[in-house]
Amino acid sequence: MAEDTFPGWHGTTIIGVRKGGEVVVAGDGQVSLGPTVIKGTARKVRRLSPGGFEVVAGFAGSTADAFTLLERLEKKLEATPGQLARASVELAKDWRTDKYLQKLEAMLIVTDGKELFVITGAGDVLEPEHDVAAIGSGGNYALAAARALMDSPLGAEDIARKAMSIAADICVYTNGNLTVERIGN
């Protein structure tokens, strides 16, 4: 099959919500190839503990590419313990300038419980304005839902779960099988 006609891997939804001294990263479990669900129980949210410094990361995009980026992030965190922003910027610089890394197709949401960032292959390290970040095919749906819930009495985890449920109802590449990791107070 020619590369331009290959149906491609589609979708996922990852959300990060910071509220009340806590950050939650949640991701769905669906992996699709074209119109077919290949797997419904993938884990796209992981805990990293380089040098005892705990970070939660969620990824959207190619799994192999995302794992390559997570390994690189761990190395950056080992070199700059406790400095998630610096490690994220160093990863984004490498990702943008390294000929091998430039071909990687993924995005990351990372948090240490204090800071929350989206890291992209365009060299971006973005901190969300409204304490919510979302990526993937259902990311905009989850983002809108979570932002609408931020003024409610719900905590970070409940907001993330509700937003992911809404995204799963709208985006055909997102399911309700969640992996949720909490970090912070």
Active site residues: 12
Extended strands (E) in the chain = 9-10, 13-19, 22-27, 31-33, 36-39, 45-48, 55-61, 106-111, 116-119, 125-126, 132-136, 179-184
Tell me the β-bridge partners of 183.
23
The answer to whether the beta carbons of residues 12 and 44 sit under 8 Å apart is yes
Distances (CA, A) of 70 to 91, 116, 167, 181: 10, 15, 25, 16
Could you write out the DSSP letters of every residue in 96-140?
HH-TTGGG--EEEEEE-SS-EEEE-TTS-EE--TTSEEEEETTHH
